[in-house]
Amino acid sequence: MDNNLRLFLVASLCFVGLLLWQAWQRDYSPGNATTVPEKTVDDAVATGDAPVPVPDPASPATTMPTMAVPDAVTVSVRTDVFDVVIDTQGGDLARVALRDYPVAIDKPQEPFVFLDRSDALTFIAQGGLISDAASPTHKARFQADKATYELGPTEDELRVPLRWRSPDGLEVTRNYVFRRGSHLVGIEFTVDNKGAAAWNGRYYAQLQRQFEGGKTDVVYTYTGAAVSSPEKRYEKLPFDEMQDQPLNRDIAEGWAAILQHYFVAAIVPGTAASHHYYTKVIDGDRHIIGLYGTPTTVEPGTSAVITHRFYFGPKIQDTLAEIAPGLDLTVDYGALWFIAKPLFWLMQHIHGMTGNWGWSIVLLTLLVKVLFYRLAAASYRSMAKMRKVQPRLLALRERYGSDRARMNQAMMDLYREEKINPLGGCLPILIQIPVFLALYWVLLESVELRQADFIFWIRDLATKDPYFVLPLAMGVTMVLQQRLSPTPMDPVQQKVMQIMPIIFTVFFAFFPAGLVLYWFVNNLLSIGQQWLITRSIEEAKPARA
């Protein structure tokens, strides 16, 4: 009798269970253990079977020659999209702030710090050259020409060189290449062999990250590593699994990355040739993913250029897809990606017409509702018929009391007489659940909604409603929907239905406003459709007493 209600309760409880599981993953997963970061740079350089011997950086025999420069020298770089700090000790990208993405909507002049080496966050990009001879790893000391660089208003490219040389005549210039409007950072190693022997080595690049402390996001999104290969274009490597399941694989046409909500840091090889990919965990909480390339030989009196790229920026699908195959999959829609991608495509095109992401959500919700109009109508029609005969069902319950067999038979006879299918509303609801979940991930994963203004007090669709107006309005719509639905005959179900709007209102009070806006608009449209159908059926020929 109450199949539609039971299905709604199951779907609702599953959704709440998903949120609770995500919160548990965030707070208690082993990979989320937080410790005070160390200030030292990781000593791990890729190891493994390879044609070129890989030195152990801890060995005194591989201590790199240093240049006559002061300790703790850093180079500051400013472009139209970046504020970057490069450490001459190792050439690490020690801090990357995204100027075109403020930390908060009320702090437009304060850029979001993505990479950093501080007490709050250790997230850095490293790299270098490794060889059986002296080479500049991320432990070497480089020399900078200047302490500050800035992309001029008429310039499209900025090159920042760091120099290193060995006593036996090897000179290496490590160029950081920044381009206007791009979140890609090119790395070029120019190896000039002025010695008497051939140099044989290869480049490596790696990302190292610890978790921030005090993370309290209500909605959980994946923070961890990922790798790509032609066989599997997007493969998650959770931090809490790195210790027991380290990556040690040769991959062609791949990339390596560390993801967080809205943003990704990625290593993109300079060629499609096979590279060796690896992961490491240092001191139990420093997580590293990296790769190293194939050997390069530089004969005496010659030079060679070895390149790769880093990406530090937002997860914008069109941009990422142009950088490397599968990099756009870091916008992680989960198992329902095949539904989510068309929904985002549609929302993006609506935004092209409206110029407002809030109205894009409203119109997308309307289009989805139109798409499922007939299915929803079948569900509401079934509920309206159940509501119409409910007095007779209550009379049957009073007549047969505890004789459930006779009562069920009488109910089936009544359904047959009134041409009611008690399961008629289940299938339409089941079909719509995957679409809702896919749209949930679209709204959650889209960096386009970050700090996107809507109307009135809603200034950021990616954060909670500051005055809780939308969640309260959404709770009211849930109550109105219940009043249009058949009242459960089971007292326990009645109490559950009464408390559900309160539970959802509390949950949604801390959800991103964009998600609450979708649910609120969807409820409003559902109420309108359900009211029209219920009214038409109740005004039809009355059921017999």
CATH number at residue 317: 2.70.98.90
Q: What's phi and psi for 252, nearest 5 deg? A: -100, 150
CB count, 10 Å around CB of 341?
A: 17
Whether residue 350 sits in one domain with residue 311: no
| CA–CA dist 461, 464 (Å, integer) | 7
- Which secondary structure element, helix H or strand E, spans residue 383, and what is its range? helix 373-388
Structural tokens at position 299? 């004969």
- What is the pLDDT, as a whole number, of residue 15? 54
Q: Residue-wise over 76-88: b if at least 16 C-beta within 10 A, else e?
A: ebbbbbbebbbbb
Identify the domain containing residue 282 by its residue range: 35-330
- What is the pLDDT, as a whole number, of residue 497? 75
Whether residue 188 sits in one domain with residue 45: yes
* Selection from 251, 146, 265, 250 nearest residue 208 by Cα: 265
- For residue 27, tell me if it sits in a domain: no
Whether residue 397 sits in one domain with residue 507: yes
Whether residue 326 sits in one domain with residue 348: no
- Which residues touch 495 (CB under 8 Å, ≥6 apart)? none
Structural tokens at position 467? 């005055």
- For residue 206, tell me if it sits in a domain: yes
* Residue carrying structure tokens 């999209």: 81
- What is the pLDDT, as a whole number, of residue 54? 40
| CA–CA dist 331, 344 (Å, integer) | 11
Whether residue 282 contacts residue 126, with contact meaning beta carbons closer than 8 Å, is answered with no
| CA–CA dist 77, 55 (Å, integer) | 32
| CA 478 to centroid of chain Cα atoms | 29
| CA–CA dist 510, 281 (Å, integer) | 34
- For residue 543, tell me if it sits in a domain: no
Burial class for 400, CB neighbours closer than 10 Å (0-12, 13-18, 19+)? middle
Whether residue 393 contacts residue 410, with contact meaning beta carbons closer than 8 Å, is answered with no
Structural tokens at position 345? 């495509």
- What is the pLDDT, as a whole number, of residue 540? 64
Whether residue 309 sits in one domain with residue 174: yes
- Which secondary structure element, helix H or strand E, spans residue 535, and what is its range? helix 513-538
∠ CA(288), CA(291), CA(295), 5° rounding? 145
pTM value > 0.85: no
Q: 476 forms bridges with which residues in the sheet?
A: none
| CA–CA dist 272, 124 (Å, integer) | 24
CB count, 10 Å around CB of 416?
A: 10
| CA–CA dist 254, 291 (Å, integer) | 10
- For residue 198, tell me if it sits in a domain: yes
Whether residue 372 sits in one domain with residue 489: yes
Q: What's phi and psi for 295, nearest 5 deg? A: -65, 145
- For residue 72, tell me if it sits in a domain: yes
| CA–CA dist 241, 281 (Å, integer) | 10
Total domains in the chain come to 2
Start-to-end Cα distance in the chain: 18
DSSP state letter for 328: G
| CA–CA dist 346, 294 (Å, integer) | 42
Q: Residue-wise over 119-140: b if at least 16 C-beta within 10 A, else e?
A: eebbbbbbbbbbbebbbbbbbb
| Domain end point (choices 303, 330, 357) | 330
- What is the pLDDT, as a whole number, of residue 121? 85
| CA–CA dist 217, 510 (Å, integer) | 9
Using CA atoms, how far residue 215 sits from 32, 34, 513, in Å, is: 10, 10, 20
How is the beta sheet containing 235-237 ordered, strand by strand? 143-144, 157-165, 170-179, 184-193, 303-314, 263-269, 255-260, 224-228, 235-237
| CA–CA dist 310, 96 (Å, integer) | 12
Whether residue 446 sits in one domain with residue 415: yes
pLDDT tens-digit profile, the chain (545 residues): 344 444 455 455 555 555 544 444 444 443 333 333 333 333 445 443 333 334 333 333 333 333 333 455 899 999 999 999 999 999 999 999 999 999 988 899 999 999 999 888 899 999 999 998 899 999 999 999 999 999 999 999 999 999 999 999 999 999 999 999 999 999 999 999 999 999 999 999 999 998 654 454 556 789 999 999 999 999 999 998 998 899 999 999 999 999 999 999 999 998 889 999 999 999 888 999 999 999 999 999 999 999 999 999 999 999 999 999 999 999 999 888 999 999 999 999 999 999 999 999 999 999 988 888 877 777 777 777 777 777 787 787 777 777 778 777 887 877 777 777 666 556 666 777 888 888 888 988 999 999 999 999 999 998 899 999 999 999 999 888 888 776 666 667 667 777 888 888 998 898 889 989 998 998 899 888 878 877 776 666 554 44
CB count, 10 Å around CB of 75?
A: 22
Question: Identity (one letter) of the amino acid at 181?
Answer: G
Q: 175 forms bridges with which residues in the sheet?
A: 161, 188
| Domain end point (choices 264, 296, 330) | 330
| Domain end point (choices 330, 356, 388) | 330
Pairing of strands 184-193, 107-117: unpaired
Whether residue 200 sits in one domain with residue 237: yes
* Residue carrying structure tokens 């139209």: 80
- For residue 296, tell me if it sits in a domain: yes
| CA–CA dist 229, 326 (Å, integer) | 9
* Selection from 14, 9, 7 nearest residue 498 by Cα: 9
- What is the pLDDT, as a whole number, of residue 73? 87
Q: 98 forms bridges with which residues in the sheet?
A: 82, 112
| CA–CA dist 374, 428 (Å, integer) | 9
Whether residue 412 sits in one domain with residue 350: yes
